Structure 1
Amino acid sequence: MVLQGIADAVQAYTGLSPAAAATILALMLATYLLVSSLFVAPAPASAPPKPPQQEKKDEEKEEKGHEEEEEAVMPFVYPDPVEVGEITLEQLRAYDGKDPAKQILIAIRGQVYDVSRGRLFYGPQGPYSLFAGRDATRALALMSFDPNDLTGDLEGLSPDELEVLQDWEEKFKERYPRVGHLAADSNQKGAQLEHHEGESS
């Protein structure tokens, strides 16, 4: 009798048969549960207990892993720059970063800078490796990657290009230690040498 009264009330209130109302109610509940499960992270499944010996091995591995991580995080310490004094262009070429025991040097306007701290940029695989062990004066002024521009020759540079070179020189002075200078006649010989190399290649 009570169930019949509820069925009549549902039909009168919703206009649906008791079976249709129950079906709609079940669908609404299922939709609610599905949607709410999308926003709640499921509880992690508990792993089966490990035997005591396996637990000990896992702990040892974890400790070793942490030790290795700590060792890997240790920053690389660069050696102190070494003064080279007066150096020729030919001698400068030995400091191109290919020998990890040597500094990486670049000359700008006759001054030699140790750019070893910028190994990622000037080392063998770096985007500016072309400049390592060379006089990059003209190339920097022209913003050029042409090997023919790797010279100290400033002839024909515009005031704007000389200003660009000045900006580069200031950046090098701020970031890298000056460790020497090019031999006095090295700039002229270097300009001629680079010019002839460019013609032959």
Structure 2
Amino acid sequence: MAVAELWETLKQAIVAYTGLSPAAFFTAVAVAAALYHVVSGLFAAPPPPPPRPREEPEAEPLPPPVQMGEVSEEELRQYDGSDPKKPLLMAIKGQIYDVTQSRMFYGPGGAYALFAGKDASRALAKMSFEPQDLNGDISGLTPMELGSLNDWEYKFTSKYVKVGTIRRAAPAEEVYGSISPEIREEVTVPVVEAEREPEPKPHDDDTP
């Protein structure tokens, strides 16, 4: 009862003070609230811009590959990525390539880091990571392994710059392979100087 009496009193007050029916009054209040919301939105300060994504520093451009010429296998080991100031080198079939641009693969911690600074021909042909295969000896490989090695060589020549070759001592068979056995024997047998006959000593009678 109290609620009904309060509602009747409120309706009478609305009619007395505004001259509007309760329904018209509440409609006008709703329209005014909506209009206020729209107008206040027009003059409100714009929201702050979203924070800009953090820009990562640009990587320094790689220096151009340096031609090494002929180097020994021992010298090639100095370019295995342990010194970041030196280029990262790797060889296939005696040909040295600069793989610095793929340091994530051939540098320290990379999947193929064991191949850096070496002629990894045998390991690539056999897809082996065994220490005894980390060399350039391709003797005894199967035709399939040689084909795999040729594929690797094609990829390297297409992607990386050749910067040198490995200097190796030529085996004796390669040096003398084209020489006839008779001449080879003469070359390999040391020459013994012929023993000289003693010069005759002058006699006292021959003295002038």
Relative to the length of structure 1, the TM-score reads 0.58
- Aligned counterparts of 1:169 and 1:90: Cα–Cα separation in 2: 22
Q: Secondary structure at the match of 2:105?
A: helix
The residue aligned with 1:93 is 77
- Aligned counterparts of 2:67 and 2:77: Cα–Cα separation in 1: 16
The reply to whether residue 128 of structure 1 matches residue 112 of structure 2 is yes
User: Which of residues 109, 122, 139 in structure 2 aligns to 1:138?
Assistant: 122
- Aligned counterparts of 2:169 and 2:133: Cα–Cα separation in 1: 18
Percent identical among aligned pairs is: 50
- The structure whose Rg is larger is 2
C-alpha displacement of 1:115:
0.3
CA RMSD of aligned residues (A): 2.6
Aligned letter for 1:156? G
C-alpha displacement of 1:186:
8.1
The reply to whether residue 174 of structure 1 matches residue 144 of structure 2 is no
Query: Does the 8 Å contact 1:110/1:187 carry over to 2?
Result: no
Q: Secondary structure at the match of 1:92?
A: helix
C-alpha displacement of 1:152:
1.0
The residue aligned with 2:145 is 161
CA change 1:186–1:151 in 2 (3 A) is: farther
- Aligned counterparts of 1:80 and 1:112: Cα–Cα separation in 2: 15
Unaligned runs of 5+ in 2: 1-47, 173-208
- Aligned counterparts of 2:135 and 2:107: Cα–Cα separation in 1: 19
Query: Does the 8 Å contact 1:88/1:186 carry over to 2?
Result: no
Query: Does the 8 Å contact 1:97/1:124 carry over to 2?
Result: yes
Query: Does the 8 Å contact 1:97/1:132 carry over to 2?
Result: yes
Query: Does the 8 Å contact 1:151/1:187 carry over to 2?
Result: no
User: Which of residues 113, 135, 144 in structure 2 aligns to 1:151?
Assistant: 135
**Per-residue CA shift, 1:129-169, capped at 9, x if unaligned?**
00000110100010111111011111110111100000000
Aligned letter for 1:160? M
Higher-helix-fraction structure: 1
The residue aligned with 1:106 is 90
